[in-house]
Amino acid sequence: MEFSELMHSIRRDRAAWTVSVGDDWLQGRTIYGGLAGAICLEATQREFTDLPPLRSAQFAFIGPATGQLHITATTLRRGKSTVFIGTELHGDDGLATRATFCFGAARNSTLSYSAHDRQPAQAPETYPPFFEQAPPFLRFLQHIDGRQAGGNFPFSGGKDPTMTLWLRHRDPGLKPSLVSLLALADAPPPAALAMVKQVGPISTMTWSIDVLTDTIETDNGWWMIHSTADTAAGGYSSQSMTVWNTSGKPVMTNRQNVAMFL
């Protein structure tokens, strides 16, 4: 099922929203964190149709999300310009993901600054494919086209834990949106995997995002994502990530804490 079809299949069921996700979107025995976040945001925007633009979100991936998924969204606080929403995603094994969304209307400001502006890189098609050698249990990657624009491949045993990728959905009818971008932003493997040679399980535990623009647009569905591991020790890695569109405009910054069984 293509990503657009999957989002369209979300339905209201009494007090919750529900969706069934096929095995083709799994990472091991659960859907991956980016898809869980995207489903939470899609259900939240359907529950509350008058929200201002999303400014930030925090996700805690508490357990596996399998079977029939149920999503509930609750207003935590609504002010003059901001709205906080708490959203929970439950699967067959109980609570799987807990999200907190902060939506905020734009205001006039004398400030205009960005530390993340960059020149557009070469076209994605000029770089080598990235996901051709993905492990078979990462089934969701069949829906994503990736090209490596810099850094090291996972499991290459390098010294620099950085990774720069061009990513896009393979869904031909999908238009750029914050929901579809969330599903891509968590798709890259942790940058710390570039430092090891053995393959082992990984699991994102927490994920925090900041949205840097109200305009979610890019060319041909491509987004550039740069990941850098800040620490990797004791079975966990903390990393920072930045997302740009094809014009080199920064769109999103992320931080993740990842459990690594290596």
Task: Write the pLDDT tens digit of every residue in 43-81.
Answer: 999 999 999 999 999 999 999 998 899 999 999 999 999
Domains in the chain: ranges and CATH: 3-105+127-260 (2.40.160.210)
Q: How far apart are CA 247 and CA 9, in angstroms?
A: 32
Q: What is the pTM of this model?
A: 0.95
Task: Write the pLDDT tens digit of every residue in 87-128.
Answer: 999 999 999 999 999 999 998 888 887 878 776 678 999 999
Q: How far apart are CA 62 and CA 71, in angstroms?
A: 14
Residue 12: count other Cβ atoms within 10 Å of its Cβ: 11
Mean pLDDT is highest, among 107-121, 130-144, 218-232, for: 218-232
pLDDT on residue 67: 86
Residue 79: count other Cβ atoms within 10 Å of its Cβ: 9
DSSP state letter for 195: G
